Amino acid sequence: MKNGWEAVIGLEIHAQLNTETKIFCGCSTRFGDEPNANTCPVCLGLPGALPVLNWRAVELGARAALALGLQLNERSIFARKNYFYPDLPKGYQISQYDRPFSERGTLEIMTAARDEGGHARDWRPMTIRITRLHLEEDAGKNVHEGLPETDRYSYIDLNRAGTPLAEIVTEPDFRTSWEAYDYVNHVRRALQWVGASEADMEKGNLRCEANVSVRRVGSEKFGTKVELKNLNSVRFMQKAIEFEIERQINLIEAGGAVTQETRLWDDRAGETRVMRSKEEAHDYRYFPEPDLQPLVLTSDFIARVHDEMPELPEARRKRFMYEYGLSYNDAAQLTSEHTLADYYERAAQTSGNPRGAANWIRTELLRELETDGRTAAESPVAAEELGALVRLIDEAKISGKQGKDVLVEMFKSGKTAAVIIEEQGLAQVSDAGEIERLVGEVLAANPKQLEQYRAGKTGLMGFFVGQVMKASQGKANPKLVNEVLSEKLKA
Query: Closest distance between ligand ADP and the C-beta of residue 295, in Å?
Result: 21
Query: Closest distance between Zn ion and the C-beta of residue 86, in Å?
Result: 18
**In 254-337, which ranges are continuous DSSP H helix?**
299-308, 313-324, 328-334
Q: Indicate the residue among 43 and 228 with the shorter CB distance to Zn ion.
A: 43
Interhelix angle 338-351/313-324, nearest 10 degrees: 20
Query: Closest distance between Zn ion and the C-beta of residue 41, in Å?
Result: 7
User: Does 231 interact with ligand ADP (rule: CB under 6 A)?
Assistant: no
Give yes or no for a contact between 115 and 121, defined as CB atoms under 8 angstroms apart. Answer: yes
The entry of Zn ion, ligand ADP, none that residue 297 binds, CB within 5 to 8 Å by partner kind: none
Give yes or no for a contact between 193 and 313, defined as CB atoms under 8 angstroms apart. Answer: yes
Q: Indicate the residue among 8 and 396 with the shorter CB distance to ligand ADP.
A: 8
CB count in 10 Å sphere of residue 122: 7
Q: Indicate the residue among 25 and 57 with the shorter CB distance to Zn ion.
A: 25
Burial 34-65 (b: 16+ CB within 10 A, else e): eeeebbeebbbbeeeeebebbeebbbbbbbbb
User: Does 176 interact with ligand ADP (rule: CB under 6 A)?
Assistant: no
With contacts defined by CB under 6 A, name the span among 66-74, 135-143, 169-177, 430-438 that binds ligand ADP: 169-177
Residues in CB range of 251: below 8 A, 6 or more apart? 257, 258
User: Does 9 interact with ligand ADP (rule: CB under 6 A)?
Assistant: yes
What is the per-residue binding string for Zn ion in 8-47, x denoting contact by CB under 5 A?
-----------------x-x------------x-xx----
User: Does 169 interact with ligand ADP (rule: CB under 6 A)?
Assistant: yes
Query: Closest distance between ligand ADP and the C-beta of residue 148, in Å?
Result: 35
Q: Indicate the residue among 171 and 271 with the shorter CB distance to ligand ADP.
A: 171
Query: Rounded to whole angstroms, how far apart are CA atoms 298 and 288?
Result: 21
**In 45-149, which ranges are continuous DSSP H helix?**
55-67
Q: Indicate the residue among 223 and 403 with the shorter CB distance to ligand ADP.
A: 223
Q: Indicate the residue among 166 and 169 with the shorter CB distance to ligand ADP.
A: 169
Strands 295-296 and 75-76: antiparallel
Torsion of CA 106, 109, 114, 119, to 10 degrees: -170
Binding to Zn ion (CB under 5 A) within 40-59 occurs at: 40, 42-43
User: Does 100 interact with ligand ADP (rule: CB under 6 A)?
Assistant: no
User: Does 225 interact with ligand ADP (rule: CB under 6 A)?
Assistant: yes
Query: Rounded to whole angstroms, how far apart are CA atoms 198 and 196?
Result: 7
The entry of Zn ion, ligand ADP, none that residue 43 binds, CB within 5 to 8 Å by partner kind: Zn ion
Handedness of CA 470, 471, 475, 477 (dihedral sign): negative
Query: Closest distance between Zn ion and the C-beta of residue 97, in Å?
Result: 23
Give yes or no for a contact between 196 and 63, defined as CB atoms under 8 angstroms apart. Answer: yes
Q: Indicate the residue among 20 and 200 with the shorter CB distance to Zn ion.
A: 20
Q: Indicate the residue among 86 and 325 with the shorter CB distance to Zn ion.
A: 86
Residues in CB range of 192: below 8 A, 6 or more apart? 198, 199
Using the rule CB under 6 A, which residue among 35, 99, 114, 171 binds ligand ADP?
171
Binding to ligand ADP (CB under 6 A) within 180-219 occurs at: 211-213
Q: Indicate the residue among 169 and 485 with the shorter CB distance to ligand ADP.
A: 169
Query: Closest distance between ligand ADP and the C-beta of residue 263, in Å?
Result: 13
Contacts 24+ apart (CB under 8 A), 55-60: 56/19, 56/20, 56/21, 57/17, 57/19, 57/23, 57/135, 57/164, 58/135, 58/295, 58/297, 59/305, 60/17, 60/18, 60/19, 60/164, 60/166, 60/195, 60/196, 60/197
Q: Indicate the residue among 126 and 156 with the shorter CB distance to ligand ADP.
A: 126
Using the rule CB under 6 A, which residue among 55, 83, 123, 222 binds ligand ADP?
222
Distances (CA, A) of 414 to 110, 247, 314, 383: 38, 56, 33, 13
Query: Rounded to whole angstroms, how far apart are CA atoms 26 and 54?
Result: 8
Q: Which helix (H) or strand (E) holds 14?
A: strand 5-16
Residue number of the CB atom closest to ligand ADP: 10
Query: Rounded to whole angstroms, how far apart are CA atoms 108 and 314?
Result: 9
Query: Closest distance between Zn ion and the C-beta of residue 25, in Å?
Result: 3
What is the per-residue binding string for ligand ADP in 30-69, x denoting contact by CB under 6 A?
----------------------------------------
User: Does 170 interact with ligand ADP (rule: CB under 6 A)?
Assistant: yes
Q: Indicate the residue among 241 and 393 with the shorter CB distance to ligand ADP.
A: 241
The entry of ligand ADP, Zn ion, none that residue 389 binds, CB within 5 to 8 Å by partner kind: none
User: Does 70 interact with ligand ADP (rule: CB under 6 A)?
Assistant: no
Query: Rounded to whole angstroms, how far apart are CA atoms 393 and 420?
Result: 14
The entry of Zn ion, ligand ADP, none that residue 40 binds, CB within 5 to 8 Å by partner kind: Zn ion
Contacts with Zn ion by CB under 5 A lie at 25, 27, 40, 42-43
Contacts with ligand ADP by CB under 6 A lie at 8-12, 169-172, 211-213, 222-223, 225
